[in-house]
Amino acid sequence: MIDTELIIALRNARFIAALTGAGISAESGLATFRDAQTGLWARFDPRELATPSAFARNPKLVWDWYAWRRERVAAAQPNAGHFALAELERRASDFMLITQNVDGLHQRAGGRKLVELHGNIGRVKCSREDTLVERWEAPAGEVPRCAHCGAPLRPDVVWFEEMLPEHAVAAAEDAVRRCDVLLVVGTSAEVYPAAALPAHAQRSGAIVVEINPNTTALSAAADHVLRGAAGAVLPALVAALD
């Protein structure tokens, strides 16, 4: 049951922010990295697939694995949780969505005001110049290369051993410090620096709402906890605003 106090806070909020993690994408059939039973890391060693050193050592293996992942992401569809957040964006006076996901499902659901902390698997960039590449040729059995400098191309995602983009972190921190309500959806709240964002929001006076079927590191500190899947809770939350 959704607390009346929370509904009133959302109706009166000048600025609503949301932080989403892998849980919301899992509802669209995309495996989470940290799920011990079904996660991608249970079948693949991240040191061989998602680090700069792995790419330097075997760029073809890394490129092919991310190509496979892009196919899986392209086949997935936004779920009711993604659409509810896009609807909340349309209704709110001001809104910002901060996501740890790289699948682009929020954009496909209609989300426009967002910060991608970990990049986007649908984008490709030059591994040397860090510039985005829209088109490339992929000779059979080879990794495509930058037409400008000849360096191999790589996915525009943040790997282990890499820092998050400074502009994305700054935008996320600014949003949580200015928001009146922060929705924390489908994240374990254990991976920093994203895990620190709810505390930043609370220190600035925001109401923090956790939406997750499981107890997390945030649960005890959250102002409101809504137990359940994002695809069920978020549409109900938006409907309650009417």
Please provide the size of the chain in residues.
242
Angle between helices 230-240 and 80-91 (to 10 degrees): 30
Query: Secondary structure of the chain: what % helix, strand, coil (to 5)?
Result: 40, 20, 45
Bridge partners, residue 184, by sequence: 19, 210
200 is catalytic: no
Q: Which residues contact 22 (CB under 8 A, 6 or more apart)?
A: 30, 32, 33, 34, 100, 101, 186, 187
Q: In this structure, are residues 180 and 199 in contact, taking their beta carbons and an 8 Å threshold?
A: no
Provide the b/e sequence for 107-117 (b: ≥16 CB within 10 Å): bbbebeebbbb
Of the candidates 209, 212, 185, the residue with the CA atom closest to the CA atom of residue 82: 185
Helix (H) or strand (E) holding 26: helix 22-26
The amino acid present at 202, given as its one-letter code, is Q
Residues 82, 118, 148, 224: which is the catalytic one?
118
Taking the C-alpha atoms of residue 93 and residue 89, their distance in angstroms, rounded to an integer, is: 8
Provide the strand spans (E) within the chain. 16-20, 95-99, 114-116, 119-126, 132-133, 153-157, 181-185, 207-212, 224-227
Residues with a known catalytic role? 118
